[in-house]
Amino acid sequence: MNEAILEFNSLRFAYQQGSALVLEDFSMQIGRGGVVAVLGPNGTGKTTMLMLALGWLTPAAGTIKLLGQPLAQYARRELGQKISLVPQFEPTFFDFSLIDFALLGRAPYLGSFSMPGPQDYEIARQALAKVGMAEKAERSVMNISGGEHQLVLLARSLAQQTELMLLDEPTSHLDIKNKSRLLAILRELVAEGKTIVFTTHEPDVAAMIADSVIMVKGGRVMHAGRVADVMTGKNLSEIYDTRIEAGEYAARRVFLWD
Amino acid sequence: MSTAQADSGPVRRARMLFVGLGALLVVIFVLSLLAGRYPSPGLLSIEQIQTDQMAYNIVFRMRLPRALLAVAVGMSLAAAGTVMQMIFGNPLVDPGFLGVSQGAAFGAGLSIVFLGNSPWLIQGSAAFFACLGLIVSYLVAWKIRYGSWVLRLILAGICVSAIFTSLLGVIKYAADPTSQLAELTFWLLGGLSAITWQEVSIVVPLVAFCLTGLLLFRWRLNILALKDSTAFALGASTSLERLFILALAVIATAAVTAVSGLVAWVGLIMPHLARRLFGADARFALPGSMLLGAVTVLVCDSLSRVPFAAEIPLGIVTSLFGALFFMALMTSGSVGVKK
């Protein structure tokens, strides 16, 4: 494996003291570059895992390292320059224009009393262009479709210019066309040297884009490795408690379930 | 400013609006100095001010401090409203939220009925309990064990406001109906009739300090308007930054409320109007809201004192026009809110 960008060692986490553990003895290592899919059924701790990687949640036990350094040793802004999040869904209460919204990704580089400058605008415009939304830059974030909203969230994350990008179920609200568009953008980003970790409960999406996969169930890592090795019918059946068959069609892995 | 930024239509439009609103504020400020009922209803001339000592005193000792404070009230309430609506992600929040207004009302009532009826004591007590409202709301929110930080603050604010409202009810019940109750009622209706340079010398520097802090912080406010975890992922120290910005907004609100009484609706409506004119970006919406607030309170204060021989409390005028305007704004479908 390449040099690790993100490591979880024996993590234990519960949302409240004394309540049920969401993650238990959770260990994984993600190498630099490429796409890693975190696959598992609903409510298995995938989003919790991302929030721990961000530092938003703190584990009850275990350690998290980013680029070999414990997460707790990073300053807030420094962390925002290294790791970004594309949430699954983000409610929008105020009608920011798309360019102003993408510009928010520059926050980790600006002081509390600073305003975004020419360079920040340029980066935000490039981020919108990357997701194909440059022409709609002045449109309101409240007047776009769900698929476009997902792309704008990705643009904000791109404006953050982080090496590691976390995406929480990025395809869950998208139709097939937008899914395909998003996956193409992710492939471009990987080619540019980014590391992408995304959660999903769709095996097909994981197989289409990921280099490696981490299968999670009940707050534990059940299987981890290259897609071809790990995404077998047997493993998937175990994860989802449903009989799943893996096959190939037109040189792509497909999954059939009962 | 960048070429890209400077060239964009919305930024150019915002700049023109700032110039227009700034000019309007200056014109209304001057008119409010000249307008009144001495020696007869209408405008004083420059010559009258130069030659008539009474006219001079009215303009410079009564109307000027009053107009300055009206600007401070309008700017503070509108700025605090914008800040709170953004931080709480709720466009129906106003600056009195978090127990601030009800705390001030209780403080004033306590002073009028039990502590002594001097203006200084009323103002000090109102300011103290307004700040106490925020502090208690914050501490209660800290102790609530479920929900997001914003939800906890909203719940705590509702409880603290209700407690102050109940206590104010007790004070009203105990007040002497012939003197104290009337005084308290007038205070609650809000007004600037008793403003002198003394109040201005304390309130305006304090408000200027708080508003300058908010203006410097205004782009960051956009980040704090996002979901907690998203703001955190963008490098914000959410709790600390929100506390800092809320403290500035509440201190400004408490300072003006202590001398003006409850001036309703300004803090709720100006942020909506500003977002409609300038867009949601707080870089433009916050100063825009402040200018709109200043113009509105100045106009309402002039309307409260000029047309009729007996002054109408400012809070009544702002409530009347505010509610009508808000209805028009909402029915026009341009409030820009979606949940």
Instruction: Name the nearest CA neighbour of A105 among A133, A124, A132.
Output: A124
Is residue B147 less than 8 Å (CB to CB) from chain A? no
Question: What whole-number percentage of chain A has pLDDT above 90?
Answer: 56
Q: Does B90 touch chain A (CB under 8 A)?
A: yes
Q: How far from chain centre, in Å, is Cα A14?
A: 21
Strand ranges (E), B116-245: none
Amino acid, single-letter form, for residue A216? V
Using the structure block, give the residue that is written with the tokens 């807030």: A76
| Tens digit of each residue's pLDDT (9 = 90 or more) over B160-209 | 999 999 999 999 999 988 888 988 888 888 888 888 898 899 899 999 99
Q: What is the spatial distance between Cα B222 and Cα B87, in angstroms, rounded to a whole number?
A: 9
8 Å CB contact of A95 and B275: yes
- Look at A80 and B237 and tell me if their CB atoms are within 8 Å: no
Q: What is the DSSP letter of A18?
A: T
| Alpha-carbon span B339 to B337, nearest angstrom | 7
pLDDT of B94 above 80: yes
Kindly give, in sequence order, each residue whose CB lies less than 8 Å from that of residue A203, ignoring residues fewer than 6 positions away.
Answer: A39, A231, A236, A244, A255
Give per-residue burial for B164-195: e unless 16+ CB within 10 Å, then b.
beebbeebbeebeeeebbebbebbbbbbbeeb
**pLDDT at residue B338, rounded to an integer:** 44
Return the pLDDT at A211: 92
pLDDT of residue A95: 85
Range ranked top by mean pLDDT from A6-15, A155-164, B308-317, B327-336? A155-164
Place of tokens 């701790």: A45
Q: How many CB atoms lie within 10 A of CB B149?
A: 16
**CA of B5 to nearest chain A CA: how many angstroms apart?**
7
The one-digit pLDDT tens for each residue of chain A (258 residues) are 568 899 999 999 998 877 888 888 899 999 998 999 999 888 888 999 999 999 999 999 999 999 999 998 999 999 999 999 999 888 777 889 999 999 999 999 998 889 999 999 999 999 999 998 999 988 988 888 888 888 999 999 999 999 999 999 998 878 888 888 889 999 999 999 999 999 998 888 898 899 999 999 988 899 999 988 999 999 999 988 889 888 888 888 888 887
Q: What is the per-residue pLDDT across A200-237, written as a single tens digit (0 to 9) for each?
A: 988 888 988 999 999 999 888 999 999 889 999 999 99
CB pairs A-B closer than 8 Å: 109
Give the tens place of pLDDT for each residue, B45-88. 999 989 999 999 999 999 999 999 999 999 999 999 999 999 88
Contact A125/B336, CB-based, under 8 Å? no
Of A77, A113, A125, the CB nearest to B217: A113
Q: What is the reported pLDDT for B334?
A: 53
ipTM above 0.95, yes or no: no
Interface of A with B (CB under 8 A): 16, 51, 54-56, 76-81, 83-85, 87, 90-97, 99-100, 104-105, 107-108, 110, 112-119, 121-122, 125, 138, 140, 142, 160
Q: Which residues on chain A are in Cβ contact (under 8 Å) with B337?
A: 93-94
Are B280 and A115 in contact (CB < 8 Å)?
no
Pick the more confident residue, A212 or B120: A212
Residue B64: how many other CB atoms lie within 10 Å: 17
Of how many residues is chain A composed? 258
Provide the pLDDT for residue B333. 61
pLDDT of residue B3: 45
The closest CB to that of A91, out of B91, B233, B339, belongs to B339
Say what the pLDDT of residue B24 is: 97
Residue B336, chain A, CB below 8 Å: the answer is yes
Cα–Cα distance for residue pair B10/B299, rounded to 1 Å: 28
Given a cut of 70, whether residue B1 has pLDDT beyond it is no
Q: ∠ CA(A133), CA(A134), CA(A140), 5° rounding? A: 70
Burial group, residue B302, by CB count within 10 angstroms (0-12, 13-18, 19+): buried
Q: Give the confidence band of B2 by pLDDT, cuts at 50, 70, 90.
A: very low
Q: Mutating which of B214, B230, B289, B337 best tests the A interface, going by the most A Cβ atoms within 10 A?
A: B230
Answer yes or no: is pLDDT of B308 > 60. Answer: yes
Name the least confident of A56-60, A185-189, B101-105, B143-147.
B143-147
Which residues in chain A are closer than 8 Å to B228, comparing Cβ atoms?
Answer: 56
Least CB-CB distance to A115: which of B234, B237, B283?
Answer: B283
Instruction: Look over chain B and give the mean of its residue pLDDT values, rounded to a whole number.
Output: 88
Q: Are B252 and B79 in contact (CB under 8 A)?
A: yes
CB A101 within 8 A of CB A133: no
DSSP class of residue B311?
A: P
Terminal-to-terminal C-alpha distance of chain B: 34
Using CA coordinates, name the residue in chain B closest to A108.
Answer: B235
Q: How far is B94 from chain A (nearest CA, A)?
A: 16
The DSSP bridge partners found for residue A165 are A84, A196
Q: Determine whether A33 is exposed, middle or buried from the number of CB atoms within 10 Å of its CB (0-12, 13-18, 19+).
A: middle
Residues linked to residue B89 through DSSP beta bridges, in sequence order = none
Nearest CA in chain B to A56: B229
Q: Cβ contacts (< 8 Å) between A159 and chain B: which residues?
A: none
Distance, C-alpha A76 to centroid of its chain: 19
Per domain, the residue ranges of chain B are 66-331
Domains and CATH numbers, chain A: 1-82+164-175+194-258 (3.40.50.300), 88-161 (no CATH)
DSSP state of A140: B
Evaluate whether B276 touches B334 at the Cβ level (below 8 Å). yes
Q: Quote the minimal CA–CA distance from B16 to chain A in Å.
A: 18
Q: Closest to A107 (Cβ–Cβ): which among B9, B216, B236?
A: B236
Strands A69-70 and A61-66: antiparallel
What is the reported pLDDT for B184?
A: 87
In this predicted structure, what is the pLDDT of residue A53? 94
Summarize the confidence of residues B95-114 as an average pLDDT.
87
Nearest-Cα distance to chain A for B140, in Å, is 19
Residue B122: which pLDDT band, with cuts at 50, 70 and 90?
confident
- Average pLDDT of span B279-287: 94
What pLDDT, on a 0 to 100 scale, did the predictor assign at position A1?
A: 52
Q: Give me the pLDDT at residue B262, please.
A: 86
Cα distance between residue B150 and residue B226, in whole Å: 11
Average pLDDT over residues B216-232: 92
CB contact under 8 A, A107 and B3: no
- For chain A, say whether B272 makes contact (Cβ under 8 Å): no
**CA proximity to A183, closest of A35, A3, A17:** A35
CATH code reported for the domain at B66-331? 1.10.3470.10
Closest CB from B9, B10, B235 relative to A108? B235
Distance from CA of B179 to the nearest CA of A (A): 46
Q: Does B9 touch chain A if contact means CB atoms closer than 8 Å?
A: yes
